[in-house]
Amino acid sequence: MKIAILSNGSGNYSTKRLKEVAKARGHEVRVIKYRDCYASIEQNNPTVSYRGEDLGTFDAIIPRIASNMTRYGTAIVRQLEMQGVYTVSSSIAINRSRDKLRSMQLLAKAGVGIPKTVVSRNSADIDDLLEKIGGTPIIIKLARGTHGNGVVLAETKKAAKSVLQAFYLSNEDGTNILLQEFVKESAGTDIRAFVVGSRVVASMKRQSLDDDFRSNLHKGGEGVVIKLTEEERRTAVKAAKAMGLNIAGVDMMRSDRGPLVLEVNASPGFGVEKVTKRDVATAVIEYVEMNAKRRNKKDKVGA
């Protein structure tokens, strides 16, 4: 098969792993810098080009879209979908997962456990907001933050009001602001489950190395191997399915009332490979092989 990895460049560890595994399995694979692609929008003739080449000849694409390039990256993925190219992650699923408010709504609708969450545009209602959350401390976050950025722990009502006012004043693009309960029994730790299709292929616990309540590896957190419970496995797969994602990194925390999903990542890093020694890249390529071939076979039958 001809496989394109849409990425910012071949130097990224996840991209390198996907490329080396795909080549080892006999595929023709290229890393495409999606930010350098351009779409030609014409009636009955959608195309995506990269350095003068039409990308519609690829059998499958693996999107690795950065959070700060979501709009343009998903536009390119959407255009390739219109050309009939198989994509392991659809443009709409990527967009769903990048909007924290939308993803929380979808997870709640699907019956997935999540922290108590409130969205508001008015800091004057802080007393009522805190009552709905269950009091302080609370987590305040921007709906489009990533890697732990745009996330603040407010330990008192006064601090919460100050943070909210600061967020509203600096929030020029109208990004939604979420308030979430602080789950003390899981402070400073969370779980990353890497989902491929309908199974968890690797998982790790992430632990902050200082007093930071955030455990992201990008914030200096440390990953260790962890064995998930059956409930946690089911929750991770259910969360990915609620987003419509075939490949996902599901971040959860353990609470007294069971696993609570914090976020579903559409382009999860492969740091979990280094921690667990599990071959995540091969699981992803095998999924692409099986599903792209199945989809292309259906297209030929229906032609």
Which pLDDT score is estimated for 300?
42
DSSP state of 62: E
Closest CA to 211 of 203, 224, 221, 201: 221
Which pLDDT score is estimated for 210?
62
Rounded Cα distance between 89 and 87, Å, is: 5
Per-residue pLDDT of the chain (303 residues; tens, 9 = 90+): 999 999 988 889 999 999 999 999 999 999 999 999 999 998 889 999 999 999 999 999 999 999 999 999 999 999 999 999 999 999 999 999 998 889 999 999 999 999 999 887 766 677 888 888 888 889 988 766 555 567 888 888 888 888 887 877 766 666 678 888 888 877 778 999 999 999 999 999 988 766 555 555 555 568 899 999 999 999 999 999 999 999 999 999 999 999 999 999 999 999 999 999 999 999 999 999 999 977 655 554 333
Instruction: Report the DSSP pairing between strands 28-33 and 2-7.
Output: parallel
Where does residue 36 rank: exposed (0-12), middle (13-18), buried (19+ CB within 10 A)?
exposed
74's tokens: 């998903």
Q: Is 3 helix (H, G, I), strand (E, B) or coil?
A: strand
Which pLDDT score is estimated for 100?
87
Give the helix/strand (H/E) hosting 139.
Answer: strand 138-142
Closest CA to 195 of 253, 254, 146, 265: 265
Which pLDDT score is estimated for 293?
77
Which pLDDT score is estimated for 149?
64
Which pLDDT score is estimated for 90?
97
> Which amino acid belongs to residue 267?
S
Instruction: State pTM to two decimals.
Output: 0.87
Rounded Cα distance between 5 and 15, Å, is: 7
Which stretches of 121-270 are DSSP H helices?
126-133, 157-170, 230-243
Closest CA to 5 of 78, 58, 51: 58
Helix and strand tally (H, E) in the chain? 9, 16
Half-sphere exposure of 138 (CA within 13 A, CB side): 30
Closest CA to 261 of 111, 38, 132, 43: 111
What is the set of domains in the chain, with CATH numbers? Answer: 2-89 (3.40.50.20), 116-182 (3.30.1490.20), 185-282 (3.30.470.20)
